[in-house]
Amino acid sequence: MKKADTKALSVLTAVLSSASLTAIAQPADNRSATIEEVIVTAQKVEESLQDTPVSVSAFGAEDLQQIGVSEAKDVANFTPGLTMRKQSASQDNYAIGIRSVASGETALAIDPTVGIYQDGVYIARSTGAAFDIVDLKRIEVLRGPQGTLFGRNTIGGAINVVTEKPKGEFAFRQAVTYAARDSRSYHTTVDTPAWGNVAAKFSMRTAKHDGQNESIYTGEQLGNGESQAYRLAVNWVPSETVMVDYVYDKSDRQSNTATTQLVHVRPTYASPSSPTYGGQYYVDAAAGASADRLSKLYMTSSDVDETASDIDGHAVTVSWDWAENSTVKSISSYRDWTSLSRATEFGSFPVTFGTVYDLSGTYGPVFTPVPGGTLLPIFAAQRNSFQKQLTQEFQVVGTMFSEFLNYNVGLYYFEEQADEDNPQSFILPTCLAASAVCTPGNPGFNATLIGTASLIGRPDFAYSTDNKSLALYGQFTLNVAPDLDLTFGYRWTKDDKETTLTNGFGNPSTVQTFVDDNDWTKFTPSFTADYRFSDEISTYFRIATGYRSGGYNVRASTEADFRTPFDEENILSYELGVKSDLFDRKLRLNAAVYHTEYEDRQVAQFSAGSGGASTNIVNAGENVVDGFEIEAVYLPFIGARVITTYSYIDVDHKEFITTKVNPVTGFPVGNSNVDIAGNGALDNTYAPQHQASLALEYTFAPKEWGQLTLRVDTTFTDEISFHPQLNLYDESNEHQLVNARATITEIPAFMDGTLTVAAWGKNLENKEYRDFGIDFGQLGFAVSNWGELRSWGLDFIYQFNR
């Protein structure tokens, strides 16, 4: 343990030992016999979860603490229909899906399908979205299209992150966590007393963790990282009708990402009998690949600052109660994100002299032999990314006609600039990289190159995009009867995009810069009928449409592919839900069944060859998604709580027009797009068919020394694929995880403060499972990331409120 960590734990031990444990009156039993009300802002106003006619999961502060949440993805396993996974070669990028509406494309010109919001501010990119969140108050996950109230492209749903506001009185909170693999974090929060009508809160969180793997070459750790996050919140109430909130947040993360394991090398590349045989290099790579999790990887880079991600955000929210039943709100924000990856590799292997030739110019003229003993990565990439966004939203929320009409109307503007430079180098069998040298009779024929590999370098792969979006939206609820509400919603959206691509499409001597632009306009309405059978049971029926704008293929392999934009995609969703608090509010049972029709679905069509690893987005066709979800909370007796969730997702592809790929060889089958729906090659991409969780909690009656809560939970995730066709070698199998936690709260401590101590363990059965994967097709290999092995930790939280 580091010296600083030892000192911090010693201070906390002193705090605990100084607690006043003298005999005092037994505290009153504070455990509730009924399920508490949960307040959400899923419809942009604060209301009870049970009164919100939307399929939404909400995690309050206590739930977030029991789960152990520090970033948004930590709630995914406990949310029906939601998947959030870290992508390969990254600790900062998410692949997010809700009800099979998903996207794993990291290109900054491709819009996500699920919107992430922090305190009402839309975060446009899932790349870089895995930032540390301090002062978490609540996370809400809304399923289904949410465009009538939330920002652009939320066709799958929205993740709404809500943070704590200043309290207006002095408060101090210090949290320290020490965990397995020398992980440690420190979280400090200070609330200032109100200065007149101004209050502030400052928070800081720093964290470090070691990796789970080692380099087979150096013995150094792989996958370690560190982060720093800061947040300043200021609340100003200049009058009884006006309130201003300003928030500045900053997140800096550094990490080593050399943890993506080579799981498969195609036999046709490593077999001497194949005409595309790649020689000894591929034989060695195949020997180093494993379908099982390895603790030592064939990686050369182990620096913790291999990848850096920096975020700065500013947000100003002004609320004005301009009439008795109406509020005008302005939300202004600016956010920029910078990311640098110095070296991404998926395994490096030594060169036997005369078996790998250089086509990149690194070691000399074309076809210079790479020196023997050189460690060459099978695929390597650098990345320099930048994105900045400006958003402005105006809302008017209120009621009219003695609350017969509730309304929420708004104007939304979004502006974004993003650019990325992504040079690549990789290995290919020479006969694929330069087929002429392997063709007898061709002037360039060279028989000695048959059965060898070549190093290809593609340094020119850069793009930028300038996006603007304007939207008018509204939602109107009519209280047509005492127990019946009808809600009509709409959104009109106009997206303008200008995209620039610099590429030689496989030929460095023909590098050019191409510019193109287009715009898309869409009207997306919704309708909801909400009927309350009683104070305990209500039901709703919702019809919603969703839209995701089109765009340009910045990973295109030809100029024509780039200049041909893909179209927008559209969703029509039908949902029937029920919300209930039964048995004197001892059982909360919420359920929904839905039917979604997906048209012009944007699908990544992977292409790999001498031009590099490329992706073209195509409008593949139509599919239908049917499913249902259940969330339940049950209090069998005082102190006990049972929480369970379940989701079922079935995807039926009606039409899927794309280039057919042989998943075994990785090569296209034919030269044209065909309809491959119904051939059995398509799985629930990013969507497990079955997903479930179960948590058991028991809170003991409070004692003079504190209150003990015990929790054990288990989560189940069905198999997931990450590509509609190339899914044989990187699929994530079904897995079940078990976690446990013991927490003592309200321990008396010095200065009349309280101490919380918790011990926890995750993945207690030490299950090995794939968390994400990519099959690189024609490049000849597949890679996977693995989930975290068994871990444990100790939390210490001191809190003082004046």
pLDDT in tens, 126-153: 766 666 777 888 999 999 998 888 767 7
Q: What is the pTM of this model?
A: 0.90
Question: 545 versus 40: which is more confidently predicted?
Answer: 545
Question: 725 versus 11: which is more confidently predicted?
Answer: 725
**What is the spatial distance between Cα 497 and Cα 464, in angstroms, rounded to a whole number?**
10
Collect contacts of 563-569 with beta carbons under 8 A, ≥24 apart: 563/514, 563/516, 565/516, 565/518, 566/602, 566/617, 566/618, 566/619, 567/520, 567/600, 567/619, 568/520, 568/522, 568/600, 569/155, 569/598, 569/599, 569/600, 569/601, 569/602, 569/619
Question: 67 versus 9: which is more confidently predicted?
Answer: 67
**What is the spatial distance between Cα 562 and Cα 549, in angstroms, rounded to a whole number?**
16
**What is the spatial distance between Cα 794 and Cα 773, in angstroms, rounded to a whole number?**
32
Burial (0-12, 13-18, 19+ Cβ within 10 Å), 24: exposed
pLDDT beyond 70 at 12: no
pLDDT beyond 50 at 1: no
pLDDT beyond 90 at 609: no
Q: State the pLDDT at residue 286.
A: 95
| Res. 193 pLDDT band, cuts 50 70 90 | very high
Residue 492: phi and psi, rounded to 5, are -110, 125
The residue-averaged pLDDT of 771-784 equals: 90
For residue 639, CA distances in Å to 33, 634, 707, 757 come to: 8, 11, 11, 19
Cα torsion angle, 368, 371, 376, 378, sign: positive
Adjacency order of strands within the sheet including 157-163: 56-59, 136-143, 157-163, 114-118, 121-123
As a whole number, the mean pLDDT across the chain is 88
Considering only CA atoms, give the Rg of the chain. Answer: 28
Please give the full DSSP string across 7-69, using - where no structure is assigned: HHHHHHHHHHHTS--S--PPPP----SSPPP-EE-TTSS-EEGGG--S-EEEE-HHHHHHHT-
pLDDT beyond 60 at 586: yes
Q: State the pLDDT at residue 554.
A: 86
Helix (H, G, I), strand (E, B), or coil: what is residue 800?
strand
pLDDT beyond 90 at 591: yes
| Res. 455 pLDDT band, cuts 50 70 90 | very high
Closest to 138 in 3D by CA, of 112, 159, 124, 153? 159
pLDDT beyond 50 at 99: yes
Give the model confidence (pLDDT) of 299-313 as tens digits. Answer: 987 788 788 889 999
Amino acid present at 182: D
Residue 293: phi and psi, rounded to 5, are -65, 135
The residue-averaged pLDDT of 213-226 equals: 92
Neighbours of 32 (CB within 10 A): 13
The residue-averaged pLDDT of 256-280 equals: 86
Q: Is the distance from CB of 594 to CB of 144 less than 8 angstroms?
A: yes
CA angle (529, 533, 537) in 5-degree steps: 95
Give the model confidence (pLDDT) of 526-570 as tens digits. Answer: 999 999 999 999 999 999 999 999 999 888 777 888 888 999 999
Q: State the pLDDT at residue 658.
A: 82
Beta bridge partners of 96: 84, 103
**What is the spatial distance between Cα 94 and Cα 128, in angstroms, rounded to a whole number?**
8
Q: State the pLDDT at residue 258.
A: 85
Q: State the pLDDT at residue 323.
A: 85
Residue the block writes with tokens 């595309």: 276
Range with lowest mean pLDDT among 340-344, 354-358, 549-553: 340-344
The residue-averaged pLDDT of 515-530 equals: 94
pLDDT beyond 80 at 10: no
**What is the spatial distance between Cα 22 and Cα 226, in angstroms, rounded to a whole number?**
41
The residue-averaged pLDDT of 89-109 equals: 81
**What is the spatial distance between Cα 435 and Cα 744, in angstroms, rounded to a whole number?**
68
The residue-averaged pLDDT of 364-385 equals: 92
The residue-averaged pLDDT of 181-196 equals: 94
pLDDT beyond 80 at 636: yes
Contacts with 448 (C-beta within 8 Å, 6 or more apart), sequence order = none
The domain limits of the chain are: 36-165+198-258+299-345+378-423+459-750+763-786
**What is the spatial distance between Cα 265 and Cα 284, in angstroms, rounded to a whole number?**
10
Q: State the pLDDT at residue 102.
A: 84
**What is the spatial distance between Cα 256 and Cα 204, in angstroms, rounded to a whole number?**
23
Q: State the pLDDT at residue 527.
A: 96
Q: State the pLDDT at residue 85.
A: 85
The residue-averaged pLDDT of 20-41 equals: 75
- Tokens matching residue 661: 């790929």
| Res. 438 pLDDT band, cuts 50 70 90 | confident
For residue 17, the surrounding DSSP H or E stretch is helix 3-17
The residue-averaged pLDDT of 381-396 equals: 92
pLDDT beyond 90 at 241: yes
pLDDT beyond 70 at 288: yes
Q: State the pLDDT at residue 611.
A: 53
The residue-averaged pLDDT of 350-355 equals: 94
Q: State the pLDDT at residue 9.
A: 46
Residue the block writes with tokens 């739930």: 63
pLDDT beyond 80 at 678: no
Q: Is the distance from CB of 210 to CB of 2 less than 8 angstroms?
A: no
Q: State the pLDDT at residue 683.
A: 63
The residue-averaged pLDDT of 340-350 equals: 88
The residue-averaged pLDDT of 508-537 equals: 91
Cα torsion angle, 299, 304, 306, 311, sign: positive
| Res. 24 pLDDT band, cuts 50 70 90 | very low
| Res. 460 pLDDT band, cuts 50 70 90 | low
Amino acid present at 331: I
HSE (side-chain half, CA atoms, 13 Å) at 415: 5
**What is the spatial distance between Cα 428 and Cα 431, in angstroms, rounded to a whole number?**
8
Q: State the pLDDT at residue 506.
A: 65
Question: 612 versus 738: which is more confidently predicted?
Answer: 738
CATH code, residues 36-165+198-258+299-345+378-423+459-750+763-786: 2.40.170.20
Q: State the pLDDT at residue 679.
A: 65
**What is the spatial distance between Cα 120 and Cα 104, in angstroms, rounded to a whole number?**
24
Q: State the pLDDT at residue 130.
A: 63
Amino acid present at 685: T
Q: Is the distance from CB of 304 to CB of 225 less than 8 angstroms?
A: yes
Range with lowest mean pLDDT among 100-109, 257-266, 359-368, 466-475: 100-109
Helix (H, G, I), strand (E, B), or coil: what is residue 757?
strand
pLDDT beyond 60 at 716: yes
The residue-averaged pLDDT of 73-88 equals: 88
Beta bridge partners of 338: 310, 386
pLDDT beyond 90 at 436: no
Please give the full DSSP string across 336-354, using - where no structure is assigned: EEEEEEEEEES-EEEPPTT
